[in-house]
Amino acid sequence: MRQLVIMVGAGPAALYATGKLIEKGHTVLILNRDIKPGGLAEYGIYPTKHQMKEGLRKQFRRILADPRAIYFGNVQVGESGAVRLSELLDLKPSAVVVAAGAQGTKSLGIPGDDGPFIYHAKDLVYHYNHLPPFSEKEFPIGQRVAIIGIGNVMVDIAHYLVTVLQVPEVMAVARRGPKERAYDDREMRAIAWNIDKDALKQELERIRPRLAPLAQNMDALYQELTKDCHVKPKGGISSTRLTFRFLSSPKRILRDESGRIIGMEVEENTLVDRGGKLAAKGLGETTVLPVETVVFAIGDRVDSALGLPAEGSGYATNPTPEPQDPEAARYQVFDPQAGKPLEGVFVIGWSRSASEGVVGKARLDGEKGAAVVNRFLAQRPPLYHREVYRRIGTLYHQLRRQHVPVVHKGLWRVLEQVEQERARRQGLPEFKFGTNAEMIQILEDALDRLASRRMRWVA
């Protein structure tokens, strides 16, 4: 029973979901903002994790190799994009699945946080992973950098600041304590050498009185936080000091007359039990930390300009589970104005639950969402093969009339091969072009060479 599913996005959730949809015989048209597929797996994983990234690429290549997976890269969906969501619905696909990730950013909304030297972690991650247009932007960094948040994204940003930029000092600022850190200790291993152990001891002593009622052992926590400090970095030793500031919530960014950051005011916290979970509670006392750059690593939110109703940091989903399929509600887009789900429109991955988990969790959510979509499609009349490709062709010609250089999967593979050859020639584990213009030019040159060969053959 062939159906046409339009998949918005080409990250892990989207591609693994595509695999499950084509297994059922459906055709999936993937529309991707970026030229290359992979999303977070391509542009979110720290650059030195080559083996992990290549393992994921192999899986994605296998899924995209199926003729029922149609790929259109370099196509932005949204109110200001090449195609609006409403236009996709006008094509009358069997279903639309939004897996565009969480492209918006979160902010604490504190005074002074909207000027220079304030960055969101996602933008920096995209920058050092060479994702256009972030790869082309300048991100001036001061001598002392505060990263707000204490999860794996904080570690990735610190990794970049410590090993690539080698700034003098990086400080991780957390509203809760060391025991509540959200990063995986294995991720910290790459930069644990740079932890200032004396400063860490002083910091744990500073907060010891506040955590004493919770019976948290500061000596044991010190051992946990420093257990990998003896591991020498593989890429050489940086002199960056990596420090921590616990039980502190940012309240204000201080700037001088020229607009440069001269400090960040934080409120001292303690921890209280709220429903079985430890939460930060402000004490009303403030301190100014001498920093020059602030990076927010506190999660992301979905892009409201995509055209779906947003709720919190994600898109709105059905609040009322259906008795016959309770799981479906979590993936059905809900229209609050109409008071009902949008027929045949679903969300998966970070578009459903922003910044939740990493690739493994995205895969699980994508495949669960695909199962929901497959059950929905099983109730719909099948489409003829010709009708499926007529609707795809309608969109393709619309994009071409707008002069959008659509990158199909054959062209993407050409680009990938060119980048692999560049990496081989330069002795690098991988090479990436940093601008869309470069990538499009490479593909246009490849098409010109192909056309020339065909003309010679015909002659």
What does the alpha-carbon distance between residue 218 and residue 209 come to, in Å, rounded to a whole number? 10
Cβ neighbours of residue 74 closer than 8 Å, sequence gap 6 or more: 32, 33, 34, 35, 404, 405, 406, 407, 436, 440
Task: Find the mean pLDDT for residues 192-216.
Answer: 95
For 147-167, the pLDDT digits (tens) are 999 999 999 999 999 999 999
| CATH code of the region 4-102+302-407 | 3.40.50.720
Rounded percentage of the chain residues whose pLDDT exceeds 70: 97
Q: Which fold has domain 107-298?
A: FAD/NAD(P)-binding domain (3.50.50)
The region that residue 38 occupies, defined by phi over 0 for left and psi between -120 and 50 for alpha, beta otherwise, is left
The answer to whether residue 440 scores a pLDDT higher than 90 is yes
Task: Report residue 21 CA to chain centroid gap.
Answer: 23
Count Cβ atoms below 10 Å from residue 323 Cβ, excluding itself: 6
In the structure, what pLDDT confidence band is assigned to residue 458 with cuts at 50, 70 and 90? very low
The answer to whether residue 234 scores a pLDDT higher than 90 is no
Task: Find the mean pLDDT for residues 62-87.
Answer: 96
The answer to whether residue 216 scores a pLDDT higher than 50 is yes
For 82-95, the pLDDT digits (tens) are 999 999 999 999 99
- What are the phi and psi torsion angles at 321 (to 5°)? -60, 140
pLDDT of residue 459: 40
Rounded percentage of the chain residues whose pLDDT exceeds 90: 83
What does the alpha-carbon distance between residue 407 and residue 74 come to, in Å, rounded to a whole number? 6
Task: Find the mean pLDDT for residues 36-50.
Answer: 93
Task: Find the mean pLDDT for residues 176-184.
Answer: 95
pLDDT of residue 325: 86
For 351-393, the pLDDT digits (tens) are 998 777 678 899 999 999 999 999 999 999 999 999 999 999 9
What does the alpha-carbon distance between residue 14 and residue 203 come to, in Å, rounded to a whole number? 43
Cβ neighbours of residue 438 closer than 8 Å, sequence gap 6 or more: none
pTM reported for the whole predicted model: 0.92
What residue ranges do the domains of the chain occupy?
4-102+302-407, 107-298
pLDDT of residue 452: 66
